[in-house]
Chains A and B, each alone.
Chain A
Amino acid sequence: MSSLESTETKRFGISITPENKPIVIASGFVLVILAIGTGYTLATQGTATLLSPTYLLQQLQVGSFLGIVAAGMMLVILLGHIDLSVPWTVAASAMMATAVGGPAAIPVGLTVGLTVGLVNGFGVAYLRIPSMIFTLGVNAVMRGLMVAHTGGFAPQTAATDLMQWLAVGKVLGIPVAILVWAAVSVGMTVLLSRSAVGKSIYMIGNREAAAYLAGIPTRRVIVAAFALCGMASGLAGTLLAGYSTKAYQGMGDAYLLPAIAAVVIGGTHILGGRGRYLGTVVGVILVVLLNSVLSIMQLPEAGRQVIYGCVIILMLLVYGRGQKVTQ
């Protein structure tokens, strides 16, 4: 029966498997957001600003920081874990990168992220502390360390030129940040669909006991995923510092929940084991566009938050219902 279905869908060129369904829905919703926003601008200003390449590229550029964080977050969520240390990993990487400065800035930023990720992975895989608690604790520790480092004031150091170029520079009219995100995305795709580690991540998220009994080095894979997630946060922090030319307290706060939302909207199961990277990309675009359109429509902040939250819940309801029916 299932073989019949797959040949059926192949004939039409699109296969809407349970795996792909959230991606299709989310993509559709991205178009709906664009349409509503365009309708609004046409009605009020008579222009279709939202469809201009400038606007779209600008949104993608803003989205790349979130996209990089979400890529790392996705690895951890696929395992059935979560990384709540993202906000201060981002901030710490940015602060340390700007503090060191010079050619070492970017490596230092990445190393800070990697270190935090390794600590997280060690705590979760070897100490067996639930990731929700452990990473929350690590986040608090990082904040404390950074307050101690800066004395509680905004650091006076500035981002290096290379950091700024990576964040706001352009190559052939395309923001470099987007290219960085694209490179991360290529890496993620290869990792998740072409590598043994990627397969192992899905297996652990599906059923850790079965993966362990199959001889998968489950602990090392968990550490690796957290390390990559930390590094992604470090990269995002370094870029963000370049974007705003400096590091500041709380600069990562706006990335934790949207990153989780983007991953889940993209169809990754919050309990792990299922999800495609393409979905996360679509999820990031959706979150960024939704925010942007809501602010273009000049809704008050309160209304924006309510709509933003409702959209996320609504999308998950749609996915959840679909899955129950297919099982």
Chain B
Amino acid sequence: MRNENEQIASKPGKPTSHQLPHVVLTGISKRYGGVTALDTVDFACSRGSIHAVLGENGAGKSTLIKIMSGVVQPDAGQMSIAGQPVVFPNPASANAAGVICIFQELSLMPDLTVADNISIADPPRRFGLIDSRAQRRRAEEVLASIGCEDVNPLSRIRDLPLSRRQMVEIGKALTKNPSVLILDEATSALTAADVEKVFDILHRLRDQGLSILTISHRMHEIEAIADMCSVFRNGRHIETFVEGTRTNTEIVQMMIGREITAHFPPKHERPPDDPSAAPVLETRGLNWEGRLTDINLTVRRGEIVGLGGLDGQGQKELLLGLAGVLKSVSGEILINGKKTSVSSPEAAKAEGAEIALIPEDRKTEGLMLGMSIADNLTAASLGRYSRFQILDSAAVTEAVRSGIERMRIKVGSPEDPVSTLSGGNQQKVVIAKWLLTEPKIILLNDPTRGIDVGTKQEIYRLLRELADNGASILFYSTDYEELIGCCDRVDVMYDGRIVRELVGDEINEHEIIASALNIEGGEVPDFLAGSDGQGGAV
């Protein structure tokens, strides 16, 4: 396959810099409300190369590919393909220009067949009606071309395992004849054998002259496949280099950068294993549907324990499991040393557990947006103000007042709809709602996402204050700075397991990122050796 005259085909090969870039972005900026997702980014990728985009959560990678594939429009900047300026008002126009994106969230219709899904955008027609035979033939061809002959084109997507679905997704993208193929964590659901297959396909496509852009958090996969790497941080394009010319340590350093923007309340010096502080919350061997594996953690009185790791490594599931939302979690949860079964959020807040979960998405899980601030504030603690089911309105008013005061929520009237508040104040309402239940254990699922710096600082102060008053806090954050600044200990998760516990001075950017990528901290030279089975390699 690899001709000598195509030096691009050999890996690591020569840099392709002398080649004309195929897709060029200049000065692209994108803001979401007050958050700058991309800040005047220049970026280019060439034909016949596989280009990996690296960066922390929120670095702007997803926004970049969304702009390239027409899902969102940039606020400023231009894009050109093969020298021609292009504007993509929607994904269809990007597809027409040959830019095809395989998104992280699968875009297949579960109740349609494989063949239907592959041809969904442009089914073959006969007399104006869908030609199902031609559609099946097309599906067979494309599945064979990616080594998935075992998938029956007539089976429903719902009946396929996740890794097969992902392969169908790739096949679907290929039927659109892409010149630029973008994969957003497209290998995240694949088995090791499938990853091999996908890499073979990608290499073949690259040799055919496609420009391939991939986002992955798996360093060993990037090493195995990428020709070029670009690192993004805080919406800026930091550097592009030929893969193999930087060490992992350097790459991690680029991803972290050096920007300390937040101030955190002081932590208390405490002996790491203070025997007087018995664990308030302890789990033993929690498992859940393959998404959580053998979770053992402890949170002591007055302690803030962080959950780290990349997005989607089981942190949310762990918090939901502790709050009683997930069914059939196996393993033991001990509260104050007593085995406790928490079967629902209602049971979680009852006496004996007294757990509060600040959920991830305040708009859909934390708040009833159509209701008033007062109603939202008292939602979790209604039982406290009612006698024989009838609410004591004086007690309710007092609770609302104290909630607003405690969290310094800026409100006109408590009767205003909660949707009129800013994001930060909405989040304060969610937190105040739970504080009114006087919880002993507080689980937070990324509580500062998308809120302003000032409110963040208030939340940090509040967490420390709650811990000092005896609460036990388990705090998941996608922002490692918060974990460093707030937490007494950090458990880093990878692929549904806790792979590392960081204590004291170990809680630093480098250790957190290295553990999150599941590579050894420190010098990280040669982890590739055992890269076949991902996860649980510690």
Cα(A211)–Cα(B420), bound, Å: 20
Query: B346 and A194: CB pair below 8 A?
Result: no
Q: Are B357 and A213 in contact (CB under 8 A)?
A: yes
Q: Is the pair A210, B366 in contact by a Cβ cutoff of 8 Å?
A: yes
A196, B364: Cβ atoms closer than 8 Å: no
Residues of the A chain whose Cβ atoms lie less than 8 Å from the Cβ of B369? 206-207
Residue B462 at the A interface, CB < 8 A?
Answer: no
- What distance in Å separates the Cβ of A207 from its nearest Cβ neighbour in chain B? 5
CA distance A211 to B367 in the complex (A): 8
A245 to chain B, nearest CB (A): 37
What bracket does the count of chain A residues touching chain B fall in? 20 to 34
CB-nearest residue of chain A to B320: A213
Determine the residue in chain B with the shortest Cβ distance to A193. Answer: B391
In angstroms, Cα B433 to Cα A203, docked, is: 14
Contact check, B382 vs A199: say whether CB atoms are below 8 A apart.
yes
Q: Contacts A190-B390, A196-B391, A215-B348 given; indicate if A6 touches B415 (C-beta within 8 A).
A: yes
Chain A residue at minimum C-beta to C-beta distance from B392? A194
Residues of A near B450 (CB, < 8 A) are none
Cα of A3 to Cα of B359 in the assembled complex, Å: 29
The answer, yes or no, to whether A195 is at the interface (CB within 8 Å) is: yes
Q: Which of the residues A4, A6, A214 comes within 8 Å of B380, measured between beta carbons?
A: A214
The answer for the CA separation of A214 and B359 in the assembled complex, in Å, is 9
B389–A196 contact, CB under 8 A? yes
Q: What residues on B are CB-neighbors of A273 within 8 Å?
A: 368, 370-371
Contact indicator B391/A213 (Cβ below 8 Å) = no
Residue contact A2 to B386, C-beta cutoff 8 Å: no
Closest to B350 in A: A215
In the complex, which residue of chain B has the Cβ closest to the Cβ of A17?
B415
- Count A-B contacts at CB 8 Å: 93
Query: In the complex, are the beta carbons of B364 and A209 less than 8 A apart?
Result: yes
Hey, which chain B residues are within 8 Å of A200, CB to CB? 382
What 0/1 readout, one digit per residue, does chain A (1-44) give for beta carbons within 8 Å of chain B? 11110100000000000000000000000000000000000000
Q: List 18 A-B contacts (CB under 8 A).
A: A2-B416, A3-B413, A3-B416, A4-B412, A196-B383, A196-B391, A199-B382, A207-B365, A209-B364, A213-B359, A213-B365, A214-B379, A214-B380, A215-B348, A215-B349, A216-B346, A216-B382, A273-B371
B375 engages A203 (CB within 8 Å): yes
Question: Please, which residues of chain B bring their CB within 8 A of the CB of A207?
Answer: 364-365, 367-370
Q: Which residues of A contact B415 (CB under 8 A)?
A: 6
Interchain residue pairs A-B with the least CB separation, the first 3: A3-B412, A206-B368, A214-B380
Q: A196-B391, A215-B344 are in contact. List 19 more A-B contacts (CB 8 A).
A: A6-B415, A196-B386, A199-B375, A199-B382, A199-B391, A206-B368, A206-B370, A206-B371, A207-B364, A207-B365, A207-B368, A209-B364, A210-B364, A210-B365, A212-B325, A213-B323, A214-B345, A215-B348, A217-B344
B345 cross-chain contacts in A, Cβ below 8 A = 212-215
Interchain nearest-CB distance for B377 vs A (Å)? 11
A188 at the interface (CB under 8 A from B): no
Q: C-beta contact mask, B351-386 vs A, less than 8 Å → 1, else 0? A: 000000101000011111111000100111011011
**A197 at the binding interface (Cβ < 8 Å):** yes
Cα separation A199 to B368 with both chains bound (whole Å): 11
In the assembled complex, how far is the CB of residue B423 from the closest CB belonging to chain A, in whole angstroms?
Answer: 16
Closest to A272 in B: B370
A88 interface hit (Cβ, 8 Å): no
Q: How far is the CA of A195 from the CA of B369 in the complex (A)?
A: 20
Interface string of A258-300 (1 = CB under 8 A from B): 0000000000000001100000000000000000000000000
Interface mask (A179-207 → B, CB under 8 Å = 1, otherwise 0): 00000000000100011110110110011
The answer to whether B364 touches A215 (Cβ under 8 A) is: no
Return chain A residues, CB-CB under 8 Å to B378. Answer: 199
Out of A6, A203, A211, A212, name the residue touching B412 (CB < 8 Å).
A6
Rounded to whole Å, the gap between the CB of A136 and the closest CB of chain B is 23
Partner of A195 from the list B346, B366, B391 (CB cut-off 8 Å) is B391
The answer to whether the Cβ of B393 comes within 8 Å of any Cβ in the partner chain is yes
In the complex formed, the residue of B with least CB distance to A6 is B413
Task: Please measure, in the bound complex, the distance between the C-alpha atom of A206 and the C-alpha atom of B416, giving whole angstroms.
Answer: 15
**Given known A-B contacts A199-B382, A202-B371, A215 and B412 have beta carbons under 8 A apart:** no
Residue of B nearest to A190 (CB): B390
Nearest Cβ on chain A to B412's Cβ, whole angstroms = 3
Contacts of A274 in B (CB 8 A): 370
With the chains together, A203 CA to B359 CA distance in Å? 16
Which B residues touch A6, using CB under 8 A? 412-413, 415-416
CB distance from B372 to the nearest CB of A (A): 10
Query: Known: A196-B391, A203-B371, A206-B368. Is A211-B379 also a contact (CB below 8 A)?
Result: yes
Supposing A3-B413, A194-B393 touch, asked if A209 and B365 sit within 8 A by C-beta, the answer is: yes
In the complex the two chains form, what is the Cα distance from A211 to B371 in whole Å? 12
A301 to chain B, nearest CB (A): 40
Instruction: Give residues 201-248 of B contacting A (CB, 8 Å).
Output: none
**Bound-complex Cα distance A197 to B389 (A):** 7
Contacting pair A210 B375 (CB below 8 A)? no
Instruction: Say how far A118's CB is from chain B's closest CB, in angstroms.
Output: 18
How far does the Cβ of B399 sit from chain A's closest Cβ, in whole Å?
A: 13
Interface string of A210-235 (1 = CB under 8 A from B): 11111111000000000000000000
Provide the residues of chain B in CB contact with A216, threshold 8 Å.
346, 379, 382
Residues of chain A contacted by B357 (CB below 8 angstroms): 213
Return the chain A residue nearest B356 by Cβ: A215
Within 8 Å CB of A4, what residues of B?
A: 412
Q: Which residues of B have CB within 8 Å of A196?
A: 382-383, 385-386, 389, 391
**Minimal beta-carbon separation of A164 from chain B (angstroms):** 34
Residues of chain A with a CB closer than 8 A to B359's CB: 210, 213
Alpha-carbon gap, A209 to B366, bound state (A) = 8
Given A190-B390, A196-B389, A210-B365, A215–B371 Cβ distance below 8 Å? Answer: no
B387-408 contacts to A, CB under 8 A, are: 389-391, 393
Which chain A residues lie closer than 8 Å to B420 at the CB level? 2
Q: CA A130 – CA B364 in complex, angstroms?
A: 21
* B390 near A213: Cβ-Cβ < 8 Å: no
**Which A residues touch B380, using CB under 8 A?**
214-215
List, in ascending order, chain A residues with CB within 8 A of B389's CB: 195-197
Residues in A whose Cβ lies below 8 Å from that of B417: 2
> Is the pair B375, A2 in contact by a Cβ cutoff of 8 Å?
no
